[in-house]
Amino acid sequence: MNPTDMTAVELVTAYSSGELSPVEATRAVLDAIDARDRDINSFCLVDEERALAQARASEERWATGYSKGLLDGVPISIKDIFLTDGWPTLRGSQAIDESQPWNVDSPVTARLREDGMVFLGKTTTPEIAWKAVTDSALCGITRNPADLSKTAGGSSGGSAAAVAAGLGPCSVGTDGGGSIRIPASFCGTVGFKPTHGRVPLYPASPFGPLAHAGPITRTVEDAALLMDIMSLPDPRDPTSLAPPRATFRGEIGRDVVGLGVAYSPTLGYATVDPEVRAIIDQAVQALDAAGLPVTAADPGFTDPIDAFEVLWSSGAAAMLRSFPDGTRDKVDPGLGKAWERGEKLSAVDYLEARAVAADVGITMGKFHQTHDILLTPTVPIPAFDAGHDVPPGSAFTSWAQWTPFTYPFNLTQQPAMSLPVGKTAAGLPVGLQIIGPRHSDDLVLAVSRYAEHVLG
């Protein structure tokens, strides 16, 4: 099998048996990046020398019968939001000084490095990860491997596009309003946003409790292993949760047949593309027939987009205040508008928006007393033309308006998975969103693994 087609688990199995070495796997992925990424533009930095050095060190460990961690020697890419020792973290912005020292690992990159994974490079993001498509003046447009004329989604679009295109089996992204799940749905990968605090973050995100970090992979099993690595504690995040009592990789095979599952195709307010709706309906019917009894039910909250956009604009303004003088003239025009709005908001506006988020969280808490899991579409539309913040010809004026299923669960801080479940007639992937109560990351992963098995 071509190493670029293998999952992380398959690579580790091949290393263990001696069938394949980390150097061979890394070389194959680097060659694939060189051949394919000029069209996709999923990487903003590739460090072949460092990747091969890490691969050789892993190869030596495997040769002695010793592995450093769960995914020792597995190639991985890192969204250019996470601080990474030895590489600049420019966050898609022309305003950041590349020449400054870069000698700190974020908690995520520290854990991946300690596990022995091979760092391929950094993946593209819109400026400060502010929107749900991936383009920037610094890096250009990231395109969808399923159709290069379409967007990969965002803001973790580089990570999802890389995994979908076979440019490494896994990546890590951030999600403040859908930024892992949206590109996972558009590109046809697995994308998991865990409970807020489950994966430690440093520096603290100005987007506060909206901000999450999680894996983007080809399989749920790979996502579970990455969660076991990424969720290890780090003292630099005072809001992080205690380590889970059980491993995620050990929980994904648990019996979920008979759980109470709710399906809300619109959340009570969203408009869904008919083709997307038909694909999601078919997937839900298959899960119901396979032993996950599904009930049609809306959670009962109204669209919280106004509160979300207050929190989002406030976070953008807070971050950009720390940038050098003259930044306003360099940033993405849409980000500039969000910055201006955020500067006009008051502390009272912020706290009122947080109160809305709390109310939605309370509603969902009550909902999950009856329903273990909630299913929705991940995004109500397939990927649209690249280079646009909103679908061309639509009436939308902001990115959040076309992704009504994702940001509510950043407000509530719940775990949510996007699982690929089909393609449109044009070959564009469609994702099913699987949502659980706060702190039920293991349950969401287990239901997702079962759905992956049922749906194929």
pLDDT for 327: 79
Instruction: Tell me the pLDDT tens digit for each residue of 318-351.
Output: 988 888 887 777 889 999 999 999 999 999 999 9
pLDDT for 81: 98
Low-confidence ranges of the chain (pLDDT < 70): none
pLDDT for 232: 96
Cα–Cα distance measured from residue 73 to residue 340, given in angstroms and rounded to the nearest whole number: 45
- Catalytically annotated residues: 79, 155, 179
pLDDT for 297: 98
Q: Hey, how many other C-beta atoms are within 10 angstroms of the C-beta on 326? A: 8
Please report where in the chains the tokens 């809300």 appear, as a residue.
264
pLDDT for 233: 95
Instruction: Domain 3-251: give its CATH code.
Output: 3.90.1300.10
Per-position DSSP letters for 364-423, written without gaps between them: HHHHHHH-SEEEEESSSS---BTT-SS-TTSS--SGGGG-TTTTHHHHTT--EEEEEEEE
pLDDT for 383: 98
- Give first-to-last CA distance, the chain, whole Å: 20
